[in-house]
Amino acid sequence: MSGTEALCSGCAAGCSALAWHTGDGRSLWGRNYDFDRLAEGSGITFLPRGTVYAPVAAPESPRCAARYACAGTGLLLSPTPVLYEGINERGLMGGQLYYRTFAHFPGAARPGARPIQPPFLVYHLLAQCATAEEAARCLEEELSLAAIPLLGAVPPLHWTFCDASGASIVAEPDRDGLHIYRNTVGVMTNSPGYPWHRLNLLNYTGIQDQDRDGPDLGDAPPPPCFSGTGAQGLPGDWSSPSRFVRLAFLRKYALPGRDEAEGVSRMFRLLQSAAFPLGLVRVSHQSRATPLDRQVLPYDYTVYTAVCCAQSLRLYWTTYENQRVRFLDLGDLLERRTPFQLSLGDRPDFLPVPPPPA
């Protein structure tokens, strides 16, 4: 069984994505990868400029050459590497999320457009586009997502991207065609589609960051004795609509970091609020395991979290078992001509602190 087949089963994941900023103007984008496994061979992946790949996994498919170097989490497959999310050397960042029951792809590419299989879209856009607007125009004018099976499967996906200016887009393949939403609220989760999630925010207009006064129900109203009442009604479960609302609220009110280090640290904290604790989301319909799947569990959980910075070109990540933040600096690799992978590192890693001298 190939890594491609493992990838197709692995696309049936949850996930939450967030675009944010720092006080000194740096653009951040990050995501939680929520699933019950991770395909063997997945890791932090670097792909240099000039990488030759095929948008369709077929011997006769025309090849492309990457304009930009990229780094992200993915698989080094042939003829096309796969990124679940990533960043390129121009600061374009983005990734794919699960779009169950809503994703629809035509059976063939539209005339005059380049066909592309859905799992290859993240890498193609990062390899060819410098901004979110370029990615949107590429989807509108040059590419045609098609229901071309990858070893018998067409994974249901939608996508979100953000660039160095902070501009963000969401791209969704619906039954009435591909929809691209510009100037988004900077949050995306899973089904339903982005317009539904945006409209659903109207149900939470009473949420605020300031505590509310106690109820005046008589001569002696009880004084407030705890904090956080302004957010009463904020959903706390792990469904896609609840995670969208929660992250939109946090993005609006949470204090951004003053610089990149502080901003990345605080963004990991925000994404933790939407993370799946292991054991709380039992899988009801588990995808078939392949020999490349490892540690398949009966629960969806946040396998890893990744955060990118468009200005420094750093890719930061943590895993469920290892919360120590690590990073890869894409800017240091731009002259490198060969791809490579690093382990995500899923073992606990604690920092010992020596006692002071006696």
Q: Compute the distance between CA of residue 333 and CA of residue 231 in angstroms, rounded to an integer.
A: 44
If one counts every other C-beta atom within 10 angstroms of the C-beta of residue 272, the result is 14
The DSSP result for 170-226, as a single string, is EEEEETTEEEEEES--SEE-SSS-HHHHHHHGGGGTT--SSPPPPP--SSSPPPP-S
The residues carrying an active-site annotation are 15
> Residues 5, 31, 280, 100: what is their CA dihedral angle, to the nearest 10 degrees?
-50
> Residues 33, 34, 40, 42: what is their CA dihedral angle, to the nearest 10 degrees?
0
Element spanning 123, H or E = helix 121-128
3-state helix, strand, coil in the chain (%, to 5): 20, 30, 50
Residue 134 tokens read as 């370029």
